[in-house]
Structure 1
Amino acid sequence: MYFYHQLLGEKPFECPIVGCGKSFTTSNIRKVHIRSHTGERPYTCNYPNCGKAFTSSTNYKNHLRIHSGEKPYLCPVEGCGKRFTEYSSLYKHNAVHQPVRPHICIFCGQRFKQESALNFHKRLKHNVVVTKDGTEILVKIE
């Protein structure tokens, strides 16, 4: 059903939390999302001195690769050779091989291929920290 709903752009499984308003293509994706509201993290890493917990088995399995050193996602660009533990990291990395620099610093106009590089630049050159929700905070220099 997931592919059917995805193909049609349907998201019939709504989050029951009042005020959330998010919808999903499968009930399982909704179940994992609800955990972001409840704080439930049923998958805990048993690696010594780790103890990180996760809302989904997928995120837990990806995390285990950090401990095992497994990096199954290889950059296909000839001569690069970089490997990643998650597909999403490979996808983000792909931007370094593209000529486009879509992320522009509002303070000086410098352009970057990756948003993370722009945020690092803002912190280093303009003393601005970008929070996870995108808020920019000017940091005082003592």
Structure 2
Amino acid sequence: KQKHECRYCDATMETYMEYLKHLETHKEQGLYKCTWPTCGKKFPSTKRLQEHYEKHQTKLLCEICGKFYSCMQSLRLHKRTYHAIRDVKKYECPHPDCNAIIQGKSEYEKHFQRHKKPFRYQCKHPGCGREYRCSSGFSKHKKSCQYKQSKKFLNFKQSLR
């Protein structure tokens, strides 16, 4: 009758089924455990464990759940997927007289292109002279221009009659 010897200890089993059952007691043996806080992953070799540790060294930690990521793109994807958080960079328009804060690079680039267009509309109310690149902004301004009701403008309007 064949005996089954354990490769981890000196135990010997009579049957293969007993041997398999005994191997369960050594399930954790031969695995290298990560000791990084909140991790505890196990690896079959020290080489794999070392590769894993390098990910922790980058210190890209999800402050919500404690998981680590080796690159910012992975962390952002994780936050969007598991925590429904959008980490969109905000851009402040550097153009004079524009206090816009735009979310996202593509939206910022679209916004900034507006500043490059030539002025096509100018308010004719005396004392105003504001310029606009598009008709919608100009139309809105004309309705609420503070110079529209000024004495200077009303006198100017009277002189045209």
Question: Which bin holds the TM-score, normalised by the shorter protein?
Answer: under 0.3
Please, what TM-score do these two structures have when normalized by structure 1? 0.24
Larger Rg: 2
